Amino acid sequence: MMNRVDFPQYAANEVDAEFYDATALTSNPAFWAYHLCGLVSESPGWFGVPEAEFRRLRDEQLFNPLRWPVLRIPLAGGHEIVIVYETYELIPAEEYEYAVQYWLRIAGQEPPHILGAAEMEGAYGGIRWPELVKAAAPAGTGGIQQPSARLLALLPILTDADIPQSEFLPMVSAALREQGATAPEAQTQALLTDRQYGEDATWSVDAEGIWTCDTWPNSRLRTHSHNPRPAAVSRALAP
């Protein structure tokens, strides 16, 4: 039995699902096939995982309206990024609506900041490459501490047009290899050049060191209801 996780942010929305610590799922290549394949392809074979294994993990572990997997990535300074796999049962069709939400919990501040999401109708992110590299380094206690898993977990919300290939290619390739990918070099190249969103996001920084993005969709637009505390977010993610 996985440990239960409390996430009061959802209580106000009357979500009845149990939140549980899904860190153990990150040791399964089928998890990464699901988590990453939507960036460049809908086929689980892209990661080299048999489709039956992919579907079994998806249907038994990820698509459950009563139990929602949660991944925690502790950051320096007491902050953390929380990834929640949401599944809502549609009544009476007995079908499901699902999303993956990325929250930034800023130490001492509530509510958490929405960093990005992968939803049925589309996806958006809100993290720069230097911030992702910093977040991939182990910090805090508990949650995901393996650098390769931290990097890959956050890759779907990378929204940056200025990614240095000399850093991205070796780092992501090594992470994919460590997590069981069958062709990490080719898969890394696809993640860099064939992304479905976020590849053209441009960022700017003001005199106070506050980073904002001017490219939609992004959770850190200069003026956006999802970005009420840009200074606190920039400080929490600062490389």
Instruction: Please state the separation of Cα 189 from the chain's center in Å.
Output: 19
- Nearest-angstrom CA–CA distance, 122 and 159: 14
What are 203-216's pLDDT values in tens digits?
999 999 999 988 87
Cis peptide, bond prior to residue 92, ω within 30 of zero: yes
- Nearest-angstrom CA–CA distance, 166 and 155: 17
**What DSSP assignment string belongs to 108-134?**
T-SSPEEEEEEETTEEEB-B-HHHHHH
pLDDT for res 179: 95
CA angle 148, 236, 178 (to 5 degrees): 0
Q: Which residues of the chain have pLDDT under 50?
A: 1-4, 12
What are 39-62's pLDDT values in tens digits?
876 676 778 888 899 889 988 888
pLDDT for res 199: 66
